[in-house]
Amino acid sequence: MLTDQYNRNHTYLRISLTDKCNLRCTYCNPVDLPKGYFAHFNKMSPEEIDYIAGIFVSLGITKIRLTGGEPLVRKDAGEIIRRLSGHQVELTITTNGVFVHEYLDMFKAAGIRSVNVSSDSLVTFKSQIISLRDEYDRIRENIDLLQRNDFHVKVNTVIMKGVNDNEIPDFIAWTARQPVHVRFIEFMPFTGNHWSQDSVFSHQEILDRIGAIYEFDQLKRSKNDTAMKYAIPGHPGTFGVISTMSQPFCGDCNRLRLTTDGKMKNCLFSRTEVDLLSAMRKGEDIVPLIQQCVWDKKEALGGQFTAGVQEVDAAAIQNRSMIQIGG
């Protein structure tokens, strides 16, 4: 098992396939990053992803999620999915949904049954403003396609005050019509995304907004869950809140990350990274590197800040942009 000094066992690996995306959501993929920001990246090949994933599985990983950027813009995404389906793990993916129709049969063949789709607005023009692309209709069509094919669909929605917080009731109304599982995510600080305390719409504010219209029940939290989950009586769907900024869930975190350039991060907010790819290409044993990286994991939030939005100094956080880390 991959255990850290706080006795947390790690069984979940998130692998970023690419730092590229066909959308330009500013909280993830800032438009004002300097030219050449991504140019130095040395990407993992499908064979290298498969090999490194196999090492993690041998050390106790039981779930792998593919992320990006947008993982499906990678030309060999299908090959990677096929390779990883050969491991004895639960294989899942987070996508913006634009290319899902092209990969539906591949998902089925690989045993993927749960798909997270990022969608920050239910209004066409606002979706365009947030993503700087006109893909809203395709995304909704593909969410419907996934549901018709019995996939478990979660919708990831980053809530930003004054941008889309007024749509929270509309997302909840969606759960009354379809078995969609909405996850409201507190806006988090990353390089270049212009985060500020005033932009965060907190867990409690989200619940207050929903509670003004609906009665809801809190669902039992499973160990390692990142979302506090809720259900409204009679709704086939559910909703949850990922409260990283106001109520972190680090106490039983079981997640590790592998960036598209083969760096291991033991936390989304970790300052340091371990270069597994370079070590592997030199023929080194990467198992001790993985184990030490897990052991060095900080107690909470990468050791960079503490809970409490007003106390966060975004300028002092040492990290990459979200699109470089992997969603």
Give the helix ranges, DSSP H, for the chain.
Answer: 46-58, 77-84, 100-110, 124-131, 136-148, 168-177, 203-211, 276-281, 287-295, 322-325
Q: Is 164 exposed, middle or buried (0-12, 13-18, 19+ CB in 10 A)?
A: buried
What local confidence, expressed as pLDDT, does residue 322 receive? 85
**pLDDT-derived band at 327, boundaries 50, 70, 90:** confident
**Structural domain that includes position 126:** 2-325
Structural domain count of the chain? 1
**pLDDT above 60 for 72:** yes
Token couple for 301: 């939030």
CATH number of the CATH domain containing 161: 3.20.20.70
Quote the CA–CA distance of 40 and 205 in Å, as a whole number.
41
What local confidence, expressed as pLDDT, does residue 40 receive? 53
Helix, strand or coil for residue 45?
A: coil
CB burial string 278-314: b at 16+ within 10 A, e below? ebbeeeeebeebbeebbeebbebbbebbeeebeebeb
**pLDDT above 60 for 78:** yes
Counting residues of the chain whose pLDDT is more than 90, the rounded percentage is 82
Name the more confident of 163 and 309: 163
